[in-house]
Amino acid sequence: MSEPDTTVKTIPDNQDDTGDMDSRAVIGHEVKVQGDLSGREDLIINGTVEGSINFHESNVFIGKKGKVNADVTANTIVVEGEVKGGMRGNEQIIIKPTGRVFGDLRAPRVILNDGCQFKGSVDMEEKSHAPGELKVGNNTANTKQLPNRPLTGGGPKPPPAPRRKR
């Protein structure tokens, strides 16, 4: 008995007047891939992937029937299916209403749509800058470290808690 074909095929999306071709890799509904995936084109996952996915310069889309048990790194990650593993988006991570994610998210922009399932932590730290610099919009400001001092009791005291009736 021969093994099923698990080849990831590149499908041309469209071609513009310059002859440049946008392409994407598609993992079909009946395909299961085990191992490390990497590439420079967009990836659509409708099947099952176990391992790691590294598409730093491209986008990864997990379809409604897609199941991923892997850490995912991409420019933008969109989840409509299920992901078990950490995700790192250079630009953004979007979890659609049908998406189920069990792992930590790290991206400058994270969108959790109403109805999605998510268990993990979210880190929305922007791309790293030099120490002492703060990026605001298109401007960079210099910052300085303030000394670490404990707070003292100089502020107003909160009112006493209300007494419960017995």
Assigned domain for 1 exists:
no
Name the domain count of the chain: 1
- Compute the half-sphere exposure of residue 166: CA atoms within 13 Å on the CB side of its CA: 0
In a domain, 83, yes or no: yes
Q: What's the pLDDT at 17?
A: 37
Residue 3 within any structural domain of the chain: no
Using the structure block, give the residue that is written with the tokens 């300085």. 144
Structural contact between residues 83 and 61, judged by C-beta atoms closer than 8 angstroms? no
Instruction: Determine the distance from the C-alpha atom of residue 99 to the mean position of all C-alpha atoms in its chain, rounded to a whole number.
Output: 12
Answer yes or no: is 123 within a domain.
Answer: yes
Query: CA gyration radius for the chain?
Result: 23
> What local confidence, expressed as pLDDT, does residue 151 receive?
55
pLDDT in tens, the chain (166 residues): 444 444 343 334 443 333 344 688 999 999 999 999 999 999 999 999 999 999 999 999 999 999 999 999 999 999 999 999 999 999 999 999 999 999 999 999 999 999 999 999 999 977 644 444 445 445 555 555 555 555 555 556 667 777 777 6
Q: Is 70 within the bounds of a domain?
A: yes
Q: What is the pLDDT of residue 155?
A: 59
The whole-number pLDDT of residue 6 equals 40
Which two three-digit tokens encode residue 118? 């998510």
Residue 66 CA to residue 82 CA, distance in Å, equals 6
Which residue range is the domain that position 73 belongs to?
Answer: 9-142
93 SS3 class: strand
d(CA 108, CA 106) in angstroms, rounded, equals 7
Q: Would strands 21-27 and 42-45 be described as parallel, antiparallel, or unpaired? A: parallel
pLDDT of 159 reads 73
